[in-house]
């Protein structure tokens, strides 16, 4: 693959990640093992890895996905259309939750981000406790 193709791939810059307050979302999603301690330290986090919580991870991913859609300047109907292009995810969600939960979570986060933008205020995650809160990490006694 040459650079011509790579430069055409949509990607988030470090500035976009920081501007959307996604650093802690990514930290909590990625740092789930002591093997990734160097990564966590590069983000100035010195605590234990985070526990794996499927529902919480879905919320974190939804806010990241919504931020990416905002970054790409897609409107709500376009976001909905893109999400409808994942029938396997929809079937899996419907089977497990009785609804297309992934789409609901992403659109809800997208709507809250849109509201914040219109109000001229930074978006603040609704996830409680906030992303990468140390209370969500494994106990330090379970260290390396």
Domain ranges of the chain: 13-137
pTM: 0.85
CA nearest neighbour of 112 among 130, 132, 127: 127
Residue 138 has pLDDT above 80, yes or no: yes
| Cα–Cα distance measured from residue 34 to residue 143, given in angstroms and rounded to the nearest whole number | 7
Residue with tokens 């976001």: 79
State the pLDDT confidence band at 120, using cuts at 50, 70 and 90: very high
Contact 63, 127 (CB under 8 A): yes
Contact 113, 122 (CB under 8 A): no
- Cβ-proximal residues to 68 (8 Å cutoff; 6+ apart), any chain: 12
CA distance readout (Å), 20 to 5, 50, 103, 134: 26, 21, 20, 21
| Cα–Cα distance measured from residue 109 to residue 60, given in angstroms and rounded to the nearest whole number | 10
pLDDT of amino acid 10: 60
State the pLDDT confidence band at 144, using cuts at 50, 70 and 90: low
Residues pairing with 50 in the sheet: 137
Which tens digit of pLDDT belongs to each residue from 20-37?
Answer: 578 999 999 999 999 999
Residue 46 has pLDDT above 70, yes or no: yes
């Amino acid at each position: 693959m040459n650079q011509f193709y790579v430069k055409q791939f949509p990607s988030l810059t470090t500035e976009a990640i920081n501007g959307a307050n996604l650093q802690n979302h990514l930290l909590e999603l990625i740092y789930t093992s002591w093997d990734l301690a160097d990564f966590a330290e590069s983000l100035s986090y010195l605590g234990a890895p985070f526990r794996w919580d499927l529902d919480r991870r879905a919320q974190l991913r939804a806010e990241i996905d919504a931020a990416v859609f905002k970054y790409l300047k897609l409107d709500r109907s376009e976001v909905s259309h893109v999400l409808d292009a994942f029938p396997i995810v929809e079937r899996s969600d419907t089977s497990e939750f009785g609804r297309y939960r992934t789409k609901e979570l992403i659109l809800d986060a997208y709507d809250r981000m849109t509201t914040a933008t219109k109000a001229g205020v930074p978006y603040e995650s609704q996830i409680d406790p906030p992303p990468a809160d140390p209370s969500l990490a494994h106990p330090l006694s379970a260290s390396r």
